[in-house]
Amino acid sequence: MLLSQVRTRLSCRLAPVGSYHAQCTVRLQQQQQYSDHDRGYRRSKQGDGESRWNATPRSIATLSGAVLGMLSYFTYQRTHCQPGDYAFFQLPRVAAIGLTGDSVDTVAPASSRRKELNFIADAVEVSAPAVVYIEIRDTQRVDYYTREPLTVSNGSGFIIEPDGLILTNAHVVVSQPYTVVTVRLQDGRTFPGVVEHVDQRSDLATVRIQCSGLPTLRMGRSSDLRVGEFVIALGSPLALSNTVTAGVVSSTHRASEEIGLRGRDINYIQTDAAITFGNSGGPLVNLDGEAIGINSMKVTAGISFAIPIDHAKEFLKRIAESGGEKTGRGAGVFGSDGAKGRSKQYLGITMLTLTPDIIGELQRRSPTFPANVRSGILVWKVIRGSPAHAGGISPGDVITHINGTEIKSSNDVYDILALQLPLLTITVFRDGETLTVKVSPVTHR
């Protein structure tokens, strides 16, 4: 189209004031030139300022072809195609939600795999209400920011009797003098706790709170466990209450000698369920929601240990046979044979003997673990305010020598502590460096 000139003149004549009408006259004057070969139509002038379009033979042929093509298409579909055979793309059905929030397709499938396969959630629903968070605070020291008694230790436990009896690890609740125990239930209620009985050799203890009608956790049989069986660890890692992790049983009979725990005739449960600081004392449960172990320690990611519940049952049986006798600050202290504990030196660490397998695993998982370490003990946990904490020992340290004596297992540490020495010079590997720290053990019963 070639437009040579367009001129528009608009004249508007308004009706007198008060009238509801206006009259406008538009005059359009155009001078245009068209190419008949580029267009299928021709414009002709009709009268003053009026024009109309005249169809050409070419435009008539084009329109006729389009109409005939559409008629042929619909005729073919009606005679040859069945429903669902159309070649064009069909959008899938979706459940649309309107402004009112109503869904078009709201009916759930008759058989939901989510409900069928969430067996871990079913076990947690049964067992979690009985799991508690335990916190140990030192009344002689105050937190700098909160001005409250300083937290020196924390862990987990679970209720085994509805009148407030709780089972946990001994290393969670055994601490320095002037400490108080606080227990927080799953529903958020807190109670002061009293440590009633302790077995430091098997690392078990009971705590009592003054409350009744509490949910309890049923104890199963750890002797029925199988390697590869699903298990669930519940507790409060890093003070995060009501935390759940899951894994499988890696071993049902990991002897205490294999992991360097002296004097403990226990075959530990090894699992790859994530257990970290604060999980100690919490239950390890099976898919029936039964406690089959007490979470005790973690070596590294994927290697953790739990005390079998059958061993804990023996501990509770000894308590019942002793008539519930308590000593000291309310705690009856027992050895594995039921005898009262003797005085000994206290460092305030949880340690693990480094076997060749454990060393290899640590070297694979941690790039900073020294490659030249062939023996020693791994410090898994340090109790805040303990002699080890005051001396500068940190979790993850590898102790290789004490007072110049090479440390090959945790038994060597116990032998040195039995000498009742006032000061220990300890050599440790930390982040690829060799450090020397001095620790003064505390003697206690």
Cα separation, 268 vs 155, in Å, equals: 19
Rounded to 5 degrees, φ, ψ at 124 are -65, -40
Catalytic residues: 171, 203, 280
Pick the closest to residue 431 from 383, 396, 382, 381 (CA basis).
Answer: 396
Cα separation, 425 vs 22, in Å, equals: 109
What phi-psi label fits residue 289: left (phi over 0), alpha (psi between -120 and 50 degrees) or beta? left
**In whole angstroms, what separates CA 379 from the centre of its chain?**
24
Return the SS3 of 391. Answer: helix
User: In which element (H, E) is residue 113 found?
Assistant: helix 113-117
Question: Could you identify the residue written with the tokens 């869904």?
Answer: 103
Question: Could you identify the residue written with the tokens 């390890």?
Answer: 284
Q: What amino acid is encoded at 301 in this protein?
A: A
Cα separation, 220 vs 52, in Å, equals: 96
Residue 3 DSSP code: E
Question: Residue 231: how many CB atoms within 10 A of its CB?
Answer: 25
Tokens of 417: 């502590």
Question: Residue 198: how many CB atoms within 10 A of its CB?
Answer: 25
Tokens of 175: 């601490």
Q: Residues 131, 158: contact at Cβ < 8 Å?
A: yes
Tokens of 332: 């009856």
Tokens of 429: 């590997």
Rounded to 5 degrees, φ, ψ at 113 are -65, -30
Q: Residues 53, 43: contact at Cβ < 8 Å?
A: yes
Number of residues written out for the chain: 445
Return the SS3 of 137. Answer: strand
Tokens of 286: 């099976």
89-to-74, 84, 85, 86, 92 alpha-carbon distances in Å:
17, 11, 11, 8, 10
